[in-house]
Structure 1
Amino acid sequence: MAADRRDLLTFDRWDHWGLRGILWLLSLGAVAAGFVVPVVQWVTDRALITTVRTDVSAADLTRGATVTNPVSVPVAVAEPSVSERLWAAAPDALTALLVVIVARLLLRLLADLRGGDVFLDRNVRRLEVIAFLIGFGAVAVGLVDAFATMALAPAVNGQSGTSTFVWEITLYPWLTTMFIVGAVAQAFRHGARLRADAEGLV
């Protein structure tokens, strides 16, 4: 009876299709957040909900606490211009694009894994591309977000308002993930070499 029980550590077809479903849901969610929602808000002429750097005051703070300005605050911009809508959508759109590309590469890797032949040169390249997109993609999103914040500052502060370049993304988890995926890619490269050597001995 114990032999009939499913080994939870074995990557079987249920794990395969479950992971594929998760990747598809992540891709669809990213596309919805990065492209569909901004377009719908634009078409329906809704106020632009975004985050900008601006000066604020808080008179109710106690113990002599003060606000260190400028700070990032959520705002609703009525009748935004085309450029303001594009800048506001740019970080999420770039994030969605990266998520879709990474998910696509993982789906192709899963197909090889399901076929039982995962240690291939193409999978090494896929993992290396994924590592690059995770690390440098996070840097790109942070830069786009910083420039978007600068571009949207006049919508709240006026044309003479403060346009401060602020880097708010935390890179440590993304760079750590990049190095981990890169290490896995090197392990796959070693496996591919061993596989090639074994085939050469046959």
Structure 2
Amino acid sequence: MGAKSWWNRTDNRLLEAVLGLAVLLVGVFGVLLPVLGVVGLIDPIETRDVELEATTRVPGTPKAAAADWGMTLTGTHRAELGFTHPDFGQRLLLALPEIVGSLLLLIVLVLLFRMARTLRGGDVFVPKNARRLSTIGLTVLVQAVLSPVLPALTTALLLRAGGVSDEVPFALTFSGKYVLLALLVLALGEVFRQGTKLRADTEGLV
């Protein structure tokens, strides 16, 4: 008599529901609402946290040029870059890192959702899941690169027009943990690929 599996249909439905809800929330709050803000249909993102060159306080309107652009920079060391009435280009630059990050997260969640659906057949070790894991690994790797690069580049473009770029240094900080996670997922995808290939070869001999 075979051992009873600890994973049942209810567990699978619950997992699918959680992943589906995550896809919905990220799609709405991470992509749809920021895009609507960019096009001006709702209140846009108007601020960006930045690191200052020095720890001294920068006034709300540090330079005349910044005031002319409706730009404020307030804080000590870690400051807030704000725009009173951002135009389309500024709204896009402010929202772009969040939109891109959310889109990459959506790719991962959708692929995980599709993998969860393969559990309905009782077998997750299928060739499609190996490809999905590889795609997830590459997506995480892209996110590891874009996560620090996009905010730095868009902030530099925002500051260039307001004349306060001297107070905010251009800095990139990469996180090795996301690169490690991506490599682990890619390795897992290769394990899936080799496992499904071995099983197919074995079934062909029977």
TM over 0.5: yes
Amino acid of the residue matched to residue 190 of structure 2?
Q
> Any unmatched runs of 5+ in structure 1?
1-6, 59-68
* 8 A Cα contact 1:26 1:99, kept in partner: no
| TM-score under structure 1 length normalisation | 0.77
Match of 1:12 in 2: 8
| TM-score under structure 2 length normalisation | 0.76
Report the Cα offset of residue 154 of structure 1.
Answer: 4.2
Q: For 1:186-201, what aligned pairs fall within 5 Å after superposition? A: 186-201=190-205
Find the partner of 2:149 among 139, 143, 148. 143
CA distance in 2, matches of 1:159, 1:98: 32
Q: For 1:93-172, what aligned pairs fall within 5 Å after superposition? A: 93-154=99-160, 158-159=162-163, 161-162=165-166, 164-168=169-173, 170-172=174-176
Amino acid of the residue matched to residue 18 of structure 1?
L
**Between the two proteins, what is the percent identity of the paired residues?**
31
Match of 1:184 in 2: 188
CA distance in 2, matches of 1:184, 1:78: 48
Deviation string, structure 1 residues 128-164 (Cα, Å, up to 9, x no partner)? 0100101122212321111111122246xx3253363
Deviation string, structure 1 residues 148-189 (Cα, Å, up to 9, x no partner)? 11122246xx32533632214x42221121122122212211
* 8 A Cα contact 1:47 1:78, kept in partner: no
Question: Structure 1 segments of 4 or more deviating over 3 A?
Answer: 39-42, 44-47, 52-56, 69-72
Find the partner of 1:49 among 47, 70, 74. 47
CA distance in 2, matches of 1:50, 1:11: 44
Bigger CA drift: 187-196 or 41-50? 41-50
CA distance in 1, matches of 2:89, 2:159: 12
State the SS of the aligned residue for 2:147: helix
CA gap 1:151/1:33 in 2 versus in 1, 3 angstroms: farther
CA distance in 1, matches of 2:142, 2:26: 18
Deviation string, structure 1 residues 72-127 (Cα, Å, up to 9, x no partner)? 42233100121111011111101111111111111111122221232222211110
CA distance in 1, matches of 2:88, 2:204: 60
Bigger CA drift: 18-27 or 87-96? 18-27
Q: Please tell me whether residue 24 in structure 1 is matched to residue 20 in structure 2.
A: yes
CA gap 1:151/1:52 in 2 versus in 1, 3 angstroms: farther
Q: Please tell me whether residue 34 in structure 1 is matched to residue 34 in structure 2.
A: no
State the SS of the aligned residue for 1:43: coil
Output the aligned Cα RMSD: 2.8
Aligned length: 183
Match of 1:79 in 2: 85
